[in-house]
Amino acid sequence: MKPTLLILAAGMASRYGSMKQIDGFGPNGETIIDYSIYDAIKAGFGKVVFIIKEEYVENFKAIFDAKLNGKIETDYVFQNFDLKQYGIDIEIERSKPWGTAHAVLAARHAIKEPFCVINADDFYGLDAYEKMVKFLTTEVSGSNYSMIGYEIGKTLSDYGSVSRGVCKVSADGYLEEVIERTKVFREGETIVYEEDEKQYPLPLDTRVSMNFWGFTPEMFKISEELFREFAHANKDNPKAEFFIPLVADSLLSSENADFKVVPTDSKWFGVTYKEDKPIVQASIDQLVKDGVYPENLWN
């Protein structure tokens, strides 16, 4: 059974100013999602599931259905505010949904096979998809999950500091913890993070999480139980978010699952602000010139 690609595309993109999930970056208006799916098909994924807001379903179908028809199975699921579907009977007022792990739960009825989770607005590179397919078809189990680990230097911006989930990895290649460093940047020839106005160096081979995870459907039941606890604990905190690393941390601390850190040499890039768009466009243009992708992706 081929694994499934689950794309987190329900974010509000408030800092970007528009729906960056379906904005055009390629030479013929291709989205970053187009390149993700193109690489996923090439790597051996058999299905793609989009997690979106229900009001955008026609926008997504108009962009993706025709071009993907006959190439890969597609499905759409919706992230919303309905807590009753998770057995939560209290009303909680929020301006936006509950975060990435809550978004993944929206796909619990659509996925029956091993799957991986990615962000819609991040470019990950073919190597990452190929390595994830290998893991999901040969190693994954309900107690053995994975995370693609990127070299920190291949995820930084030339235009300022970034936040990164810095991974502590055991000698045998398994995740011990993810530490969020909120201000990471290059300082000359070295990479540093800043904390309390002091700078600390990070080794060039440090691995970071870019939200590229591999699971089995057993993860849904675990996440649903954790989400019920999280929602009750944060009923008076309208900005609390239920992130995938929270689920990973719970599994690690309870020793119910391990996470293999699968290293990739791929360069990551993504969009947060409008100012990032020309940088991403230039990066994709170069990949097309280098022959990594055809100029017209789907023809």
Compute mean pLDDT per 10 residues along the chain, 299 residues long, and list them.
94 50 85 96 98 91 93 95 89 86 95 97 95 98 96 87 92 93 92 94 93 96 94 90 92 94 92 80 95 93
- Confidence (pLDDT) at 122: 92
The model carries a pTM of 0.92
Element (H, E) at 64: helix 57-68
Q: Which amino acid is at 136?
A: L
- Confidence (pLDDT) at 293: 97
What residues does each domain of the chain span? 4-142+210-290
Instruction: Pull the structure tokens for residue 13.
Output: 């993109």
- Among 3.90.550.10, 1.20.120.1630, 2.40.50.140, 3.30.413.10, what is the CATH number of 4-142+210-290? 3.90.550.10
Query: How far apart are the C-alpha atoms of 86 and 76, rounded to whole Å?
Result: 19
